[in-house]
Structure 1
Amino acid sequence: MRVDFTKMHGLGNDFVVIDQRARENVHMDRALAAALADRNTGIGCDQVILLEPSEVADFRMRIFNADGGEVEACGNASRAIALFHGSAARIETGGGLLEVTPGNGGAAVAMGRPRFGWEDIPLDYAMDTSEMPLSWDGLERPFAVNVGNPHAVFFVPAIEDVELGSLGPTIERDPVFPEGVNVGVASVASRDRISLRVWERGAGLTRACGTGACAAVVAAVERGLTDRIVTVALPGGELVISYDEDGQITMRGPASESFRGSFDPADYGAA
């Protein structure tokens, strides 16, 4: 049995999308997701996205990182799926309900409200999440926030000076984050512009991270560093994030289809 897929990306953060809304084509587990994501022996992607029926929304989106672990949310994937679906939709995710509206070669995604409680991140023990009293090799006092998945945001003078490839996995797996964490380093250029790099939990360095951009803007606004509408410059391109007075986050940016194909799950050891 061959399974159809669509390869998509949002600012270079790339996905293998498998549509199972009409019928189940394959049972996705950690091993198969990791095999498909492998860039040498699989299709290659940062995340595998599974679309399924939902009882509470138009459909459900499940997200598997490159290491095969299932996570709650992915902002860039949400824009890609809006484009894939082709019309406005409510999407069920592990991090809550999203509302997406495609248009102008991308989509707007209503990401909901951030959560700031230490138990919402979650952390191993109670502390101030707006300025955590912790440091890792010069990176200190991050802002921790859950925007569908957990993020620790560090504000630094220059993001290119941070060895995120080595520090990222150390922070991601620190016991203070019992479920792991995404790690962002951000520099504020002006009241309406920041630059950002993200080490994604279970995926590593990626060219863009939509929830990371949302987390960075929330952190910047809460610390009084920026206004509420901010352009976020990532290695793969730019996103515009709005964080309104009511606490609602909206992300706007591009998404694209790369190609379509099919695979046989048996080639990856799946039944």
Structure 2
Amino acid sequence: MFYIGCHLSAAKGYLAMGKEAVRLGANVFQFFTRNPRGGSVKALDLEDIEKYNAFHAEHRFGTLLAHAPYTMNPCAAKEDLRTFARNTMKEDLARLELLPDVMFNFHPGSHVKQGVEIGIPLIADALNDILSAGGKTLVLLETMAGKGSEVGRSFEELRAILDRVEQKERMGVCLDTCHVYDGGYDIIGDLDGVLQVFDDIIGLDRLKAIHLNDSKNPIGSHKDRHEKIGEGTLGLAGIANIINHPKLCHLPFYLETPNEAAGYAKEISLLKSLREEK
């Protein structure tokens, strides 16, 4: 099964997102858990969740991806920001327990000139506190492009976080194609080699999702600027290789390209046409 979808607005609720996904030709989707540039969150609509869960089963959707807000920084220099991050993730994970099949993805954070040797333990400490509350939802660290003081710019940094998390069975990684390419990993010229490095450092069993994006920038630029599929430096042939790779093709793919609904529908159709039968 080729699980492909895009990022949808959660403003109208889960059922509306599910129906929009079907209209666009998708069988998975991603959404922000709350205001991505702030922290406000809608009140839970239990009736909407119940209707979505039935819709999910009827349409055989793959695993959804809930994305944390960009304002969440568990390794911030200021304690109040770290507390906000912990509380936000705890609340989001508790709410996600009501959905049948979902993972929670977040940017590991920015150490804000403290250094990764400070940032990594802060992230892991936060995760140990958050996961102690229990639950079934898998938490994913996202690969980052390495702009500014981002943590997670290398597979080694992600591994260092994972090594410090006590409940390792609750942890995974989301690989963003734009981010890793901008971060210096040549997924176009040497995808096999990059995946081998990932396996050696983190383990491919930890790779649970793919953010499928082209990039506006050359490899190693550390700029994190997404582009539409086939219109950037990764190119259509490179992206086709990614979605068909035997070590990746079983994973869910989520588009985060600069598109509106019509553009996403076009990209989903294009990617389906590039997908090889296994």
**TM-score normalized by the length of structure 1:** 0.29
The structure with more helix, counted as a fraction of residues: 2
Q: Taking CA–CA contacts closer than 8 Å with sequence separation of 6 or more, which of the two structures ends up with the larger relative contact order?
A: 1
The structure with more strand, counted as a fraction of residues: 1
**TM-score normalized by the length of structure 2:** 0.29
